[in-house]
């Protein structure tokens, strides 16, 4: 099972479905139906397994133009906000700081995922139904 890492605990990860933008993988690109392990800070001592999610949709996006030779349509401001950024410009600036000119030379995969199993910070299975029941009793 492959890892999908996040360096920040984005609010979008609290939703049952969420998206993330990733460059194509060089070994084997992401596939619809593939289950991935979601990990916070995968290359750190603070590494934390958040759970397991399934890729339910993949669409090509880019920062260049709708007529890009790399394929896909331009990322919208709405997509940038849903992904956790204040605006399209904020998202583009963040990607540019991380990846440089690569953002102008390649398309990104917009991955839509759904949680299969979400874990608590202590590695226990997160049971949303049980949590709702205990909240209602209070």
The domain limits of the chain are 2-137
**Secondary structure class of 3 (helix, strand, coil):** strand
Tokens coding 59: 């669409």
Average pLDDT, the chain: 82
The residues, ordered by sequence, that sit 6+ positions from 111 with a Cβ below 8 Å of its Cβ are: 4, 19, 20, 21, 22, 30, 55, 57, 58
Residues paired with residue 109 on neighbouring β-strands, in sequence order? 22, 60
Task: Provide the CATH number for the domain formed by 2-137 in this structure.
Answer: 2.30.130
pLDDT band at residue 69, thresholds of 50, 70 and 90? Answer: low
Residue from 54, 59, 107, 106 nearest 79 by CA: 59
**Secondary structure class of 7 (helix, strand, coil):** coil
pTM of the model: 0.78
State residue 90's pLDDT score. 95
């Amino acid at each position: 099972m492959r890892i999908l890492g996040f360096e920040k605990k984005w609010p979008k990860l609290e939703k049952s479905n969420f998206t993330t933008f990733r460059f194509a993988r060089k070994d084997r690109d992401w596939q619809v139906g593939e289950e991935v392990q979601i990990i916070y800070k995968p290359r750190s001592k603070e590494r934390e397994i958040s759970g397991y999610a399934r890729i339910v949709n993949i669409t090509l996006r880019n920062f260049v133009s709708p007529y890009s030779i790399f394929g896909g349509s331009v990322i919208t401001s709405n997509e940038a906000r849903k992904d956790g950024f204040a605006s399209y410009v904020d998202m583009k600036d963040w990607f540019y700081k991380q990846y440089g000119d690569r953002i102008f030379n390649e398309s990104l995969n917009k991955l839509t995922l759904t949680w299969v199993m979400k874990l608590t910070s202590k590695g226990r299975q997160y049971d949303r139904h049980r949590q709702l029941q205990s909240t209602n009793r209070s």
